[in-house]
């Protein structure tokens, strides 16, 4: 019997638990460790932040879902991973031994790297449902006394879609309230151009998003380094292509949401051989750590180098379907090890993304996500908004039922030439 532990119960951890249970042997034990007793659907956080959803709409209790699948659950945060000893030290003093470990923690939100940034400073966040609830409280106060908005992503961020989504969701909500004329919106990003997305662009993402911003009167500053944030004011240095200073901006705001840079969580940060300097898990093509070969990793906590050199640090996003491909490859590779074989499966890292813009949206398919690509498709329209709503309901149902890859989903994606594993 082997004990397989999954650290994290989010977009990567929950599917990992289900697929690992299906691929493990009957006598193997699967355990999930999480710092929270609930799962929430992160892509819906921007809707929570303007009260288009409530917390209850997008949150599920984890324990009953996992217990139905005969998966153990420990709702206690990990204090430290000890990979050389095959154990995890928990915050309550316990130690959990494992034969195989899958790290799916997601990131640590590095608000502290910029003075005044984040929920404990002067800007809002949609990275976690707790933050989104607070953002909504502040949004309801803001619409009673509106003013300028600054929204975007700081240097080192690696998830840009939610920033674009939230900018346009706020814009839509303001139009519905007939307040749009009172609120100038400025989008601030470390990306070298609008629609870069940390991916070097996808299709005509630059032209389409710029057009959407012009249509909705959203101004933007690219190659923007946020130096500090004060109450009601953001200090931004715009840089040239060589990184030299171009212009200083002092941007007033009454409401601001800025995505932070990501780091690895404290439980793994600084472990030699396991992580890179930012604390992300180093993996080989099989999702396995090269130093500790019984440790795998999936999701946002995986180390991926930037797709290209940019004037300011711009990270690579890990999108939902890309993470699902990591999960499937990892589950198959751990089963191979259980059977005394070497891992052979590689994730495709294909990306299928829906971004809601309030009453319309943008969608892209990047096969694979990291260029050069076999497919590089980008589109827009009201259908994306409707598809995002449908996907939210569908994914939450999959989690609730513990069935991450229904046959009809796999059949449809295969017909479109989208697969999780490389042939």
Residue position matching structure tokens 């303001």: 174
Contact 8, 104 (CB under 8 A): yes
Half-sphere exposure of 400 (CA within 13 A, CB side): 11
Strand (E) or helix (H) holding 78: strand 78-82
Rounded CA-CA distance 219/86 in Å is 51
Check if 301 is active-site. no
Structure tokens at 21: 């249970």
Q: Which phi-psi region, left, alpha or beta, contains residue 375 (left: φ > 0; alpha: ψ -120 to 50)?
A: beta
Q: How far is CA 95 from CA 71, 82, 86, 90, 267, in A?
A: 18, 10, 10, 6, 13
What is the total residue count of the chain? 423
Is 353 designated active site? yes
Residue given tokens 């709702």 in the structure block: 75
Active-site choice (127, 159, 222, 301): 159
Gap between the Cα atoms of 221 and 44, Å rounded = 26
From the candidates 127, 222, 301, 353, which is the catalytic residue? 353
Q: Dump the DSSP string for 377-409.
A: EEEESHHHHHHHHHHHHHHHHHHHHT-SS-HHH
Catalogue the active-site residues. Answer: 159, 353
């Amino acid at each position: 019997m082997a004990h397989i532990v999954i650290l994290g119960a989010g977009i990567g951890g929950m599917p990992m638990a289900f697929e690992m249970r299906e691929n493990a042997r009957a006598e193997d034990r699967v355990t999930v460790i999480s710092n929270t007793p609930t799962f929430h659907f992160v892509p819906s956080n921007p809707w929570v932040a303007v009260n288009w959803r409530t917390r209850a709409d997008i949150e599920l209790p984890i324990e009953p879902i996992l217990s139905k699948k005969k998966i153990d659950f420990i709702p206690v945060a990990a204090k430290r991973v000890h990979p050389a000893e095959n154990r995890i030290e928990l915050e309550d003093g316990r130690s959990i031994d494992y034969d195989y470990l899958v790290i799916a923690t997601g990131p640590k939100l590095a608000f502290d790297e910029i003075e005044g940034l984040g929920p404990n400073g002067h800007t809002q966040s949609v990275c976690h449902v707790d933050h989104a609830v607070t953002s909504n409280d502040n949004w309801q106060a803001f619409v009673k006394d509106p003013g300028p908005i600054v929204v975007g992503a700081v240097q080192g961020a690696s998830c840009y879609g939610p920033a674009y989504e939230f900018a346009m969701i706020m814009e839509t909500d303001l139009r519905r309230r007939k307040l749009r004329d009172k609120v100038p919106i400025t989008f601030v990003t470390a990306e070298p151009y609008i629609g870069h997305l940390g991916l070097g662009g996808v299709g005509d993402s630059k032209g389409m998003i710029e057009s959407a911003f012009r249509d909705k009167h959203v101004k933007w500053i690219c190659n923007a380094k946020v130096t500090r944030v004060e109450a009601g004011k953001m200090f931004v240095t715009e840089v040239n292509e060589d990184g030299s200073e171009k212009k200083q901006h002092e941007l007033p705001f009454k409401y601001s949401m800025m995505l932070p840079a990501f780091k690895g969580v404290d439980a793994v940060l600084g472990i030699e051989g396991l992580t890179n300097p930012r604390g992300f898990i180093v993996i080989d093509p099989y999702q396995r750590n090269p130093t500790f070969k019984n440790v795998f990793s999936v999701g946002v906590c995986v180390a991926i180098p930037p797709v290209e050199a940019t004037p300011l640090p711009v990270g690579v996003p890990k999108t939902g379907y890309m993470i699902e491909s990591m999960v499937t490859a990892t589950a198959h590779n751990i089963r191979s090890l259980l059977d005394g074989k070497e891992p052979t499966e590689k994730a495709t890292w294909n990306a299928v993304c829906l971004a809601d813009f309030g009453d319309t949206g943008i969608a892209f398919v990047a096969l694979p996500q990291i260029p050069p690509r076999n497919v590089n498709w980008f589109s827009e329209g009201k259908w994306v908004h409707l598809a995002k709503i449908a996907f939210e309901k569908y994914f939450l149902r999959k989690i609730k039922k513990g069935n991450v890859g229904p046959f009809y989903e796999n059949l449809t994606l295969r017909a479109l030439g989208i697969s999780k594993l490389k042939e």
